A = this chain, B = another copy of it.
Amino acid sequence: MNILIIGAAGMIGSKLANRLISEAHIAGQALAHLKLVDVIQPQTPLPTAQSSYEIQTKVADLTRDGVADALIADEPDLIYHLAAVVSGEAEADFDKGYRINLEGTRYLLEAIRARNTHNGYTPTLIFTSSIAVYGTPLPNLISDDFQLTPHTSYGTQKAICELLIADYNRRGILQGIGLRLPTICIRPGLPNKAASGFFSGILREPLNGKTAVLPVDDTVKHWFASPRTAIDFLIHAASLSKEAVGLRCNMNLPGLCASVAEQIEALERVAGSKVLTLIKRESDPSIKSIISGWPEAFDAQRAIKLGFKGENSFDDIIKVYLEDDLMQR
Contacts of A144 in B (CB 8 A): 147
Determine whether the beta carbon of A153 is less than 8 Å from that of B135. no
Nearest to A158 among chain B residues (CB) is B163
B-contacting residues, A87-105, CB 8 Å: 94
Interface residue A10 (Cβ < 8 Å from any Cβ of B):
no
Point out the residue from B94, B150, B170 that lies within 8 Å of A163, measured CB to CB: B150
Does A164 sit at the interface, judged by CB under 8 A?
yes
A148 close to B (CB within 8 Å):
yes
**Which one of A148, A150, A167 has the highest number of Cβ atoms from chain B below 10 Å of its Cβ?**
A167
Contact A247:B135 (CB < 8 A) given known A164-B156, A166-B156: yes
Contact string against B for A residues 165-184, beta-carbon threshold 8 Å, 1 for contact and 0 otherwise = 01100110000000000000
The reply to whether A150 and B167 contact each other, CB–CB distance below 8 Å, is yes
Does A149 touch B at the CB level, under 8 Å? yes
On chain B, the residues within 8 Å of A147 by CB distance are: 144-148
**A145 engages B146 (CB within 8 Å):** yes
Nearest B residue to A250, CB-CB: B149
Q: Complex Cα distance A94/B171, Å?
A: 10
A19 / chain B contacts, CB cutoff of 8 Å = none
Q: Within the complex, what minimum Cβ distance (angstroms) separates A289 from chain B? A: 15
Is A151 within 8 A of B135, CB to CB? Answer: no
Q: Taking the full assembly, how many copies of this chain does it contain?
A: 2
Complex: A167 Cα to B147 Cα, angstroms: 15
- Pairwise interchain contact B145-A166, C-beta atoms closer than 8 A: no
Cα distance, A159 to B160, chains bound together (Å):
8
Q: Is the CB of B148 within 8 A of A167?
A: no
* A248 within 8 Å of B (CB atoms): yes
Q: Could you tell me which residues of chain A, from 74 to 133, have a CB within 8 Å of some CB in chain B?
A: 94, 113
Segment 243-263 of A: residues with Cβ below 8 Å from B: 247-248
CA distance A148 to B167 in the complex (A): 12
Tell which of B146, B160, B170, B247 touches A164, judged by Cβ atoms closer than 8 Å.
Answer: B160
Bitwise, A181-209 to B at CB < 8 A (1) or not (0) is 00000000000000000000000000000
- Inter-chain contact B149/A156, CB cutoff 8 Å: no
Q: Nearest chain B CB to A103's CB is how many angstroms away?
A: 10
Instruction: Offer 10 A-B interface pairs, CB within 8 angstroms, sorted by A.
Output: A94-B113, A135-B248, A144-B147, A145-B146, A145-B147, A147-B147, A147-B148, A153-B171, A156-B163, A159-B163
A151: chain B residues within 8 A (beta carbon): 170, 247
**In the complex, A150→B151 CA distance in Å?**
21
CA distance A141 to B46 in the complex (A): 56
